[in-house]
A and B are shown apart, each in its own frame.
Chain A
Amino acid sequence: MTEPVLSIRGLTVPLPRGADRANAIEGLSLDVAPGEIVCVVGESGSGKSVTASAVMGLLPPILTPSAGEILLQGENVLKVGAARLRRLRGSRMAMVFQEPMTALNPVLKVGAQIDEMLKAHSERLNAEARRARVLDLLADVHLPDPPSLARAYPHQLSGGQRQRVMIAMALANDPALIIADEPTTALDVTTQAQILKLLKELQARRDAGILFITHDFGVVSEIADRVVVMQKGRLVEEGSVDAVLTRPQHPYTQMLIAAVPKAEPPPPRPRQPPAAPILAVRDLTKTYGGRGLFGGGRAVTALDGVSFALQPGETLGIVGESGSGKSTLARCIARFVDPSAGHIRVGGDDIAHCTPRALRPYRRRIQMIFQDPYRSLNPRRTVGQAIIEGPMNYGLSREAALARAARLIDLVGLDAGALGRYPHEFSGGQRQRIAIARALAMEPDVLIADEAVSALDVSVQRQVLELLEDLRERLNLSILFITHDLRVAARLCDRLIVMLNGQIVEEGPTGSLFANPRHAYTQALFAAAPKMRAAETAEATG
């Protein structure tokens, strides 16, 4: 066997006192061979990102490895001095980060940021040679028109383009090891598929080892040669991608794989007899900008003549990538933003253009659950206060509101003691349960869930989806479920709407839409979504 480019031996990184466990990483050992892609998989808090930072020597001072070694081509990066470590970073090992939106310096041109990498490590190259190399690199990652792109600033590029720039930067000095920390998590599925393809192609050409950090088993099955599963700082399973995905040994791995939503819709729920729609949207249009102080300005059409109806008790999924207008649609219906034109009928009344005062009775009837449970609850108010505030605004007595809150908190699977505690005492999944209870306390006609499970780990995601399934049966909820994730949509939604550029391009019952997508964009979305090899294999055998 060839010598590994990276060899982590018995690495332990203690957490500061008072943390929920003693060590961020405990006794971790793993190898990355040249030309190999090793995926480190785990949920949030598993220590996978700490591992990546430790290899790069980028851990914050409060996290200092206490034992073990990290050998980069035989050289222990934990022992070398600061100057040597700086030499290694960017030349022998390079990193691609999760957030392409924030990982590039906004005030420096893209070309200059790649050039900096060459300047720091390839002293032999003169300015002209460096410039040629920058253009080569931009072409290598398939960016269009390298000369003009090198002169662009990061904000002028899309997320996928920025991530390509990050990859070009990482490749600049032909590193032996590339660490990719959730490099596609912030991207749309179609962009993700392109970036994964690019990474595979480059790695095959350059023979670099890649340590690929991800939480997504779909991504793992697309790209990994070997898989390392981490739980609470420990390695719990390791093996070839086929072995781990098809025959997971450790219960945690089995649970993680089982929790991944299948891109297979369950059999449709019995349809209720058609009734008057509870929410009907007609020709809804929203245009941003275009009315500056001196006229002119750019107008952006976020929603372009959208029409649909939501039946009582139905779960309607709205699927699309970033910029498709799905969130604007949610905000227009909830009237957080004012639509430019069109109608929104709730019951029999059109609320698209009514005044804030006239809107008040309808606020109660449409409630929303937001994406980020860490930011959607006021940190200074207890859970109980958060839940009873809405109903009390609409005239319910404090006692009645508290009684309702107690009933709801039980319904979403938390104990009554939760009402007196503050949001920071809860995990992400628990907070999302609280957010659901808060929305339900208003006894809404329509519940809008805007990427409500996207920020959650798969195992937690599954629990919250189960909760929503359970609640809609019990309470006959009408749900507008907005998501970028086809797998999640497949599981929960009766009917789907696919959005692109502010318009609805396809609409239909989930089952038939999955079986037979007609629009080219829907087909592209399905093609790009990471597939689980394990699921396919299981079906083939079972």
Chain B
Amino acid sequence: MGRFILGRLAATLPVMGVVAVIVFLLLRLAPGDPAAILAGDAASPEQIAEIRARLGLDQPILAQFLSWIGRLAQGDLGSSIISNQPVAKLILDRIEPTLALATTTILFAVLVAVPLGVLAAWWHGTWVDRMVMAISVLGFSVPVFVLGYLLIFGFAMQLRVLPVQGYVSITEGLWPFLSRLILPTLTLSVIYIALIARTTRSSVLEVLGEDYIRTARAKGIGETQVLWRHALRNAAVPVISVIGLGIALLISGVVVTESVFNLPGLGRLTVDSVLARDYPVIQGVILLFSALYVLVNLAIDLTYLLFDPRIRY
């Protein structure tokens, strides 16, 4: 078990190494020149060349890569070529809204979707089931930005019960913090509700057809007990997998939502850096995301242990 965790943590290093190489190369291969963007429209070729030399971008790609990796190995993510601030500080400044939004979204989605899925499976083939499935199709189909603007229009502009946009740290009070997260959370969680509800439904349905459910009924146990004690825990593993997948996908999902609601999070930082060809920041953010991805997967694998005694690492 401890050996498994250590092994998996050790395995993150090669994964991140590969990610580092690919990100570095892709950025260099993509069109666009940070020096030209930095110098502005009126700059002369000499000025641009001078900026390029100052940033070290005139070096061969291999030399640039080695110097970046060398500093990375010492824990230094480098500095932004636009603002000159350390990448680590930029990320730290922006991580709170993203973490807050991701947490509320996943929590909300799971709390809504799992009961919906279970109800749909339990009332399989009835109007309850059909309604949950309809909600799920709708959730998959509505684009995030459309839903986001509709919610802003309804709740913030017409009813005036919630703020339009922006972010307030939790240190400044719970309600100001939460009130600004409600609409982004609703917007972002819809697709996860659809995904998780569907998976829960099919997983529970499958389990309800198993032999041991028939055994439980033959024991004279009430139907609620059959569902709670015998069905749900057995249905959990696929649902947890999809929740883990959801957390990983969330990383890209926050980009649009943060833009719609003007949240100063990592998603916005990524978009801004890409537009400015701010190579060190993009590399830093993507490395962070890939590390998170690996850790989330590990956490999911460990969660299985709680639900299924047959799984051993």
Our pick among A88, A155, A166 for the contact of B220 (Cβ within 8 Å) is A88
The listed residue with most B CB atoms (<10 A of its CB), out of A56, A89, A107, A169, is A107
A120 touches B309 (CB 8 A): no
B230 at the interface (CB under 8 A from A): yes
* One of A98-106, A400-408, A440-448 at the interface: A98-106
Contacts of A120 in B (CB 8 A): 219-222, 225
Q: Which residue of B lies closest to A106 (CB)?
A: B310
Q: Is B308 an interface residue (CB 8 A)?
A: yes
Q: Is the CB of A106 within 8 A of B212?
A: yes
Docked CA distance A35–B111 (Å) = 53
Q: A102 near B220 (CB under 8 angstroms)? A: no
Which chain A residue has the least Cβ–Cβ distance from B216? Answer: A105
With beta carbons under 8 angstroms apart, the residue of A89, A91, A105, A166 that contacts B230 is: A105
CA distance A106 to B230 in the complex (A): 9
A135-169 Cβ-contact flags toward B at 8 Å (1 or 0): 00000000000000000010100000000001001
Distance to closest chain B CB from A98 (angstroms): 9
Chain A nearest CB: distance from B49 CB in Å? 49
| A107 x B221 contact (CB < 8 A) | no
Q: Is B218 an interface residue (CB 8 A)?
A: yes
CB distance from A504 to the nearest CB of B (A): 33
Measured in the bound complex, the distance between the Cα atoms of B308 and A294 in whole Å is 24
Known A105-B230, A107-B233: A155·B310 in contact at CB below 8 Å:
yes
Are A99 and B211 in contact, CB atoms less than 8 angstroms apart?
Answer: yes
Chain A proximity of B264: nearest CB distance (Å): 42
Specify the chain A residue showing the minimal Cβ separation from B11.
Answer: A293
Interchain CB contact under 8 A, A58 and B214? yes
Contacts of A481 in B (CB 8 A): none
| Residue from B214, B220, B229, B234 in contact with A97 in the complex, judged by beta carbons closer than 8 Å | B214
Interface residue from A56, A102, A108, A153 paired with B218 (Cβ < 8 Å): A56
Nearest residue in A to B310 (C-beta to C-beta)?
A: A155
Is there an interface contact between B212 and A116, defined as CB atoms closer than 8 Å? no
B residues near A58, Cβ cutoff 8 Å: 214, 217-218
In the complex the two chains form, is A97's CB within 8 Å of B211's CB? yes
Known contacts: A88-B220, A90-B219, A95-B218. The answer to whether A104 contacts B212 by CB under 8 A is: yes
Number of chain A residues close to chain B: CB under 8 A: 29
Chain A residues with Cβ under 8 A from B219's Cβ? 89-90, 94, 116-117, 120, 169
Interface size on B, residues (CB 8 A): 23
Q: Which of A13-60 touch B at CB < 8 Å?
A: 56, 58
Count how many pairs of residues, one from A and one from B, have CB atoms less than 8 Å apart in the complex: 75
Closest to B213 in A: A105
Separation of A293 and B212 alpha carbons in the complex (Å): 35
B239 to chain A, nearest CB (A): 14
Residues 169-217 (chain B) with a chain A CB within 8 angstroms: 210-212, 214-217
List residues 298-313 of chain B with CB under 8 A from any CB of chain A.
307-310
Quick one: given A58-B214, A103-B212, A103-B215, are A153 and B3 in contact (CB under 8 Å)? no
Do A90 and B309 form a contact, CB below 8 Å, given A103-B211, A103-B212, A108-B229?
no
In the assembly, what is the distance between CA of A104 and CA of B309, in Å?
13
Q: Any chain A CB within 8 A of the CB of B7?
A: yes
Distance of B122 from chain A, by nearest CB (Å): 15
How far is B221's CA from A117's CA once the two chains are assembled, in angstroms? 8
* A102–B212 touching, CB < 8 Å: yes
Which of B210, B215, B229, B309 has most chain A Cβ within 10 Å? B215
B234 contact from A88, A90, A91, A106, Cβ within 8 A: A106
In the complex, the answer to whether B218 meets A107 with C-beta atoms within 8 Å is no
| A79-132 CB contacts (< 8 Å) to partner B | 86-91, 94-95, 97, 99, 102-108, 116-117, 120-121
B220 touches A121 (CB 8 A): yes
**A102-B307 in contact given A94-B218, A116-B229 (Cβ < 8 Å):** no
Residues of A within 8 A of B230 (CB): 105, 108
Q: Which residues in B have their C-beta under 8 angstroms from that of A94? A: 218-219
Q: How far is the CB of A6 from chain B (nearest CB, A)?
A: 15
Q: Which residues of A contact B222 (CB under 8 A)?
A: 86, 120
Interface centre among B214, B219, B229, B234 (most CB of A within 10 A): B219
Smallest CB–CB gap between B211 and chain A, Å? Answer: 4
How far is A288 from B229 in the complex, measured between Cα atoms in Å? 35
- Extra A-B contacts (16), CB below 8 Å, given A86-B220, A107-B308: A89-B219, A90-B220, A90-B221, A95-B218, A97-B214, A97-B215, A102-B210, A102-B212, A103-B212, A103-B214, A105-B215, A106-B308, A116-B219, A120-B219, A153-B309, A155-B309
Task: Report 17 cross-chain contacts, Cβ distance below 8 Å, ordered by A residue.
Answer: A86-B220, A89-B219, A91-B220, A94-B219, A95-B215, A102-B211, A103-B212, A104-B212, A105-B216, A105-B234, A106-B234, A106-B309, A107-B233, A116-B219, A117-B219, A117-B220, A155-B309
Which 10 A-B residue pairings sit nearest by Cβ, starting from the closest?
A90-B220, A89-B220, A102-B211, A90-B219, A105-B212, A95-B218, A153-B309, A103-B211, A86-B220, A103-B215
